[in-house]
Each structure stands twice: as C-alpha cells, then as structure tokens.
Structure 1
Amino acid sequence: MRRSVMHAWTALLLLLFVAQVKAQDLHFMKVDSVNPCLTLRSNTTFYCPVRKAGVRWEEKDVFNPAAVVRNDSVYLLYRAEDSVGRYAGTSRIGVAVSADGLHFSRYETPVLYPDNDAFKEYEWEGCCEDPRIVEDEQGVYYLTYTAYDGHTARLFVATSSDLFHWKKHGSVFRDVYNGRYAEGWSKSGAIVCRQQGDKLIAQRIGGRYWMYWGDTNIYLAHSSDLLHWTPVLADDGGLLPVIRPRPGMFDSDLVEPGPPPLLTAEGILLIYNSRNHPATGDTALPAGTYTAGRVVMDKTSPSRMISRGSSYFFAPDKSYELIGQVNNVCFLEGLVSFKGHWFLYYGTADSRIAVAVGK
C-alpha cells in the first residue's frame, strides 16, 4: 500500500512538471541586438599540459555550447578552438556566465580539455567538444561530450558539482557488449530531462534514464546511474535507429540530437539538428545546410515516435550563420528556462555562438 501511494505521488508530481511546457508552444526569436553573443578571442592564453606550452585556446572559433542555470545566472560551457596542431585547432571547453541570458563574461581558462590523464589517447590531438548538460536530483552536473583523437569520435561523460572542476569518466558505453560501442564512432548524447523551475533535471522513465545519441541516425540508450549507458538494439542485434534522415527533406543527410530532450504534456520533445543532402535533399536549401527540427517521442516508451515536423523551425539566415568555418549552419545544443523565458543557444557556421529567446 505504501509503495502504491508513493507511485501515485510520483506520477502526480511528474504531471505537474511536464505541464509547464507544451512541445508545439516553443517558438524562438533570434536576438539580433546581441548576436553573436560570444565570439573568438585572441588574448586569452592557456598552458596546455600536453604541449607544455601556452596556447591561445579560443582564437580560432567558439561554438556549440551547452547551457545551464545556476545561482540565478546562465552558464554556457562552450567549445573553443586554438589554431595549432595537425588538425588546425584543438578544442577545449570554456565557461561563460550571464545575469540576463544575453550578455556574457568569460573565464580565462578552459575547464575541460585534453590532459596527461587516462583519456589522453582518446582526446589528443583532436579535442573535447560539443557538450550537453543535465543535472541530477542531488545537484551533480553530467556533461556528455565528444572525445576525438583525430580519427574516431567517442561519446564521453564527465561530472561536476560546480561547473568548473570536472571528473572524466570515459566512454558512456565502456561496460556493455564487451566494449563494442566504446571503441566505435559515437557522439552527441542528449539525456531526457524535466523542467523543475529553472533547472533541467535528468528524469527516469520506467526506472531508467534515457539518452538519444548519434550523428547520422539518432539512437537510444538507457542507464541506471547517468554514467554507464546501454545502447538499445534492434532485433537483428544492431543499433536501433529511432529517428532517421528523410530523403527529399531538410533532414535528408543526417539527424543529430540537439539540447537535452524535455518531458512535456504531449511527450518527450527532442530538438534535433539536421543536414540537407546535396543530391537528394530539399532543393530550396543550399547543399549541406544545417537546420533544426522537432520530434515528439512517447514519454512512456522513448523509442516510439508520436509526431515529427514536416519542416524545420530554425535555419541559418544571418551573415554570421551563413559564412564561417562551415557555411550555412545553425547547430542547437543549449536550452534553459530562465526568468520566465526559454533561451536557446547555438553554434553559427561553426564559428560563433548566438542566442534566441522564446516563450
């Protein structure tokens, strides 16, 4: 009886949480007055422990940020590239903070970067890049990010209690299927969460946490602790694609999770990034254009799709989105609820960071 009452209260609380936002009500407007809200800097130097030398760690490009609200401020954990090395730029993760969600100040040194540690072989000389972040009930932050050694991208996870001191845990897939998915190509892990005030809290569904991941198809994985993840497999033993590219459409070449998926009244709202195929895509878009779409997945069965938009809702149309390291790119990774609004943070042309605001 006591357990049944607890389950009933849990279900009621979940309904209260997800009722705060509806999937189709999120409409965003780019804030032209401040965009791009974060750009490269050539005057900040970081002593790289691997190179054993100082590097201007954010002088080439800054882009693709995660976002979180802490102590009544918005924090961005953003990808920054230097201009040295075999790959013309090693990526590290820096921190910027804002009291209004629009104007940011930055800390001088990165907080997550390749080091002489147990993970050097996976992160050097490539990078730590493209973070996404959620929080657990105890206030611990979980950052999924891409470790890249110059040949293979691998989905890693790190934890922190303050956003500045991070513990790396390595591959999210290291302990399952004999490490088969730990050594192969994997990236872009977005963990399902719920809104709790201005916090986005990782949410269990059916007793498990869930994560959408992948950068061609979108796949699914589950976890009991947010550190060790098990990919969901299809009947043939391979990975189960839950969202695929669609020929002839804006998302014809690839699909990739954006910010952490959000529980809503209708289901799990997943904002995803997509690329237009040069030969079989939407002829109204330039080849290779990155736009963003929305899909709603079942909140009791996260592999089941409920609805998917027939067109993109976010696309490059500003000069800083059209021209850069990679042209025609809006790449969405950060989403926060802050002071009664939703703030969406995204990379522009793999070169700058911009913000859009919605209700």
Structure 2
Amino acid sequence: MRRKVGAGLLLLALLGSAATVNLPFGSWSRASDGPILSPQGLGWESAGTFNPAVLFDDGKFIMLYRAQDTAGTSRLGYAESRDGIHFTRRPEPVLAPEADYEKDGGVEDPRLQKLGDAYYLTYTGYNKKDAQLCLATSGDLIHWERKGVILPAYKGNWNKGWTKSGAIVPEKMDGKYWMYWLGTAADKTDQMGLSWSTDLLHWTEATETPVLAKRPGKFDSRVVEPGPPPILTHAGIVLIYNGADDKLVYRTGLAIFDLHDPRRVIYRSDRPIFSPEKEWERVGQVPNVVFVEGMVRQKDRWLFYYGGADKYVGVAEAPAQ
C-alpha cells in the first residue's frame, strides 16, 4: 500500500508564491513502503547500503550506491533495474578506496551526471581524517578514472572544514559549468556553496558566503546539503536538498535558483517536502534520516531515491506536472 507523505504539504509551502513558481512535480509519496536495497552478506555491503545516485540510460535505471562494511569503510556498488523499483546488484563494488585521500574511510555519497558521452561522478573521499569532494569519469559506469580532489578541505571563501556533495548543473550556463556543494562555516554548521568551471576539473568559488545558508529554528538550521544534480525548468534551476535541524533529523527541502544567475535564490521551501516516518528511516546506523541523492523522470512521474537511516535505500515518487 502506498501512503501519501504530507499530502498538500508542497502546496501549503508554496502559498504566497504559487502564482510565480511552477514545480515539475507534485506532492511526494513512497513508491515502496520498505527499502528497495538493504545490507547483505558479511563483506563490503554488510553494514549499510544507502545514499544512491541514479540515472536512466539506455532503457535502464542505473544506481551507484554507498555500501559500508562493519569496519566503517565505504565503497560504491552498482545495481540496475528495468522498472526503477526492483534492482539487481553486481557482486563486487565498482569503486573502492585506493588513493591516499580515500584510504580507510572510503568513497562515499555519489552524485551522477551524464554530460555528452561521458559519465561524471562526484563523491566524498574520506581517509578517516579529512573528507573532500572528488571526481571520477567513466564511459560505461563500471570502470572509473579518478580525477582527484576537486574542492580541497579547509579552503575557500567561507568554508573552514570538509567539502562534500557536489551537484553539477546538467548544462553549461554563460559558458560555464556550475556545481552546488557542501562546506562547513566558521560556526561549524554545514551550508551550501557554489562554484564554476570550464573543464569540470578546476573549480572557482562563485560567492563569498554560502549560496544557501542555514535558517535558525527551521528544519535546515544545522545542515543545508545538495541532493541530486539539479534540473533545469522554465521556473529555474530546481535543486532538491537535504536539511538537518539542531537535533540532526534529516528532511528534504527544495530551492530554485535563477536560470540567468545560479547564485540567486528565487524560491526556497519553508517546510520540508519529505521526512523520516518509517521505522527503517528512523532506526539504523544514523537515526531519523531521509537523504535524497537520486532523481529520475519516468514518463508521467518522478522517482526520488534516498538513503534511510544511513542503512537502506528507499524510493519516493511524485506526479510530473
């Protein structure tokens, strides 16, 4: 049985701006009451399978998911599906920690984008000391070539800590690629930055302060983290993001940026559009987490793929409009 999540919540959040903001999707509901991917075995994916990147390509849904063993080391697994719900996994990871900036901690939290004929993967390289935003490329989604750290930790106009969660805009704008990402401000809160590049390898910050900042007293008072790669619509650059409050409950938010200026926010949800409700979203390696990293349009609906409690993969859906 499918259950509506916050029926009408999206419309309520849009009151006062519905005349000027038209979203490409309606209210979210769970497409599956239970996880669509769970930990298995005693090896590399025994502790957690979560935070998936998903795209639809060549008639298939392709998922790269974060898999964690009992030692806490993360690798990226590969799974594919014809219907977007039932996935078949490869027995071995497609990306495992090798570089010094990945050793021991691993490769985490992928975002996946196809640009031209190549696939671009942003991920977090974690060596148990530093977490840094990294890039890899592939021609087949199986074999990956590392491009290294693209946003170093502890550097930047406002970032004082780690860098993570790169969400690349799918088309060039003003001759540049743009990427939203997560950094840590001086007050130890995690907020969203924006950078640009002409080659996807060398990035320059586009703002002196966070492009999407924390909001005290709201669902995103502690963390404002990019979700899946944004989509371009007539309304603007639509970005799903993951927000956490002071109790580190993770919920889903939405922001729209100006098509002519990716720095300018033209809409931001006042309330979350998706929240942890199921037991497997509230109990796991990290409690009370829904963390969206994949977003795919399938005919007349959108599918949103998320990690539940840092242990499982779930999927929500919304009608296309």
TM-score by length of 1: 0.77
Q: Any residues of structure 2 matched to 1:127-276 within 5 Å, and which?
A: 127-137=106-116, 139-173=117-151, 180=155, 185-193=162-170, 203-215=171-183, 216-234=190-208, 240-276=209-245
Q: Give a deviation string over 1:153-191, Cα, whole Å, max 9, x none.
A: 0000000011000000001136xxxx9459962111001
* Counterpart secondary structure, 2:281: helix
Aligned-partner Cα distance in 1 for 2:273–2:151: 32
**Structure 2 match to 1:282:** none
2:79 is aligned, of 76, 96, 100, to 96
**Structure 2 match to 1:353:** 313
Report the RMSD for the aligned CA atoms in angstroms.
Answer: 1.9
Cα distance, 1:180–1:241 mapped onto 2, change above 3 Å: closer
Aligned-partner Cα distance in 2 for 1:242–1:275: 17
**Structure 1 match to 2:289:** 329
**Structure 2 match to 1:297:** 257
Which letter does structure 1 place at the counterpart of 2:164?
Answer: K
**How far is the alpha carbon of 1:226 from its aligned partner?**
1.9
Aligned-partner Cα distance in 1 for 2:218–2:161: 28
Q: Any residues of structure 2 matched to 1:22-37 within 5 Å, and which?
A: 22-23=22-23, 25-33=25-33, 35-37=34-36
Q: List 4+ stretches of structure 1 deviating above 3 A.
A: 179-184
Aligned-partner Cα distance in 2 for 1:32–1:153: 32
Aligned-partner Cα distance in 2 for 1:325–1:269: 30
After TM superposition, the structure 1 stretch with the greater mean CA deviation from structure 2, 301-310 or 21-30, is 21-30
Cα distance, 1:29–1:232 mapped onto 2, change above 3 Å: same
**How far is the alpha carbon of 1:28 from its aligned partner?**
2.0
CA contact 1:337–1:343 (8 Å) conserved in 2: yes
* Counterpart secondary structure, 2:100: helix
CA contact 1:298–1:305 (8 Å) conserved in 2: yes
Q: Whose radius of gyration is greater, 1 or 2?
A: 1
Aligned-partner Cα distance in 1 for 2:200–2:296: 20
Structure 1 unaligned residues grouped into runs of 5+:
1-20, 44-55, 194-202, 235-239, 278-286
Structure 2 unaligned residues grouped into runs of 5+:
1-20, 184-189
CA contact 1:23–1:296 (8 Å) conserved in 2: no
Which letter does structure 2 place at the counterpart of 1:36?
Answer: P
Cα distance, 1:159–1:22 mapped onto 2, change above 3 Å: farther
Q: Give a deviation string over 1:189-235, Cα, whole Å, max 9, x none.
A: 00112xxxxxxxxx01111010000151100000112222212242x
Cα distance, 1:183–1:148 mapped onto 2, change above 3 Å: farther
Q: Give a deviation string over 1:287-328, Cα, whole Å, max 9, x none.
A: 221001111111110001101111000100011101111110
TM-score by length of 2: 0.86
Q: Percent of pairs identical after alignment?
A: 44
What is the number of equivalent residue pairs in this alignment?
290
CA contact 2:24–2:233 (8 Å) conserved in 1: no
CA contact 2:25–2:318 (8 Å) conserved in 1: no
Q: Give a deviation string over 1:58-106, Cα, whole Å, max 9, x none.
A: 011110010011221101100000113xxxx100000010000000110
More helix by share: 1
Does the alignment pair 1:319 with 2:267?
no
* Counterpart secondary structure, 1:218: strand
**Structure 2 match to 1:40:** 39
CA contact 1:297–1:305 (8 Å) conserved in 2: yes
**Structure 2 match to 1:122:** 101
Which letter does structure 1 place at the counterpart of 2:198?
Answer: S
**How far is the alpha carbon of 1:121 from its aligned partner?**
1.4
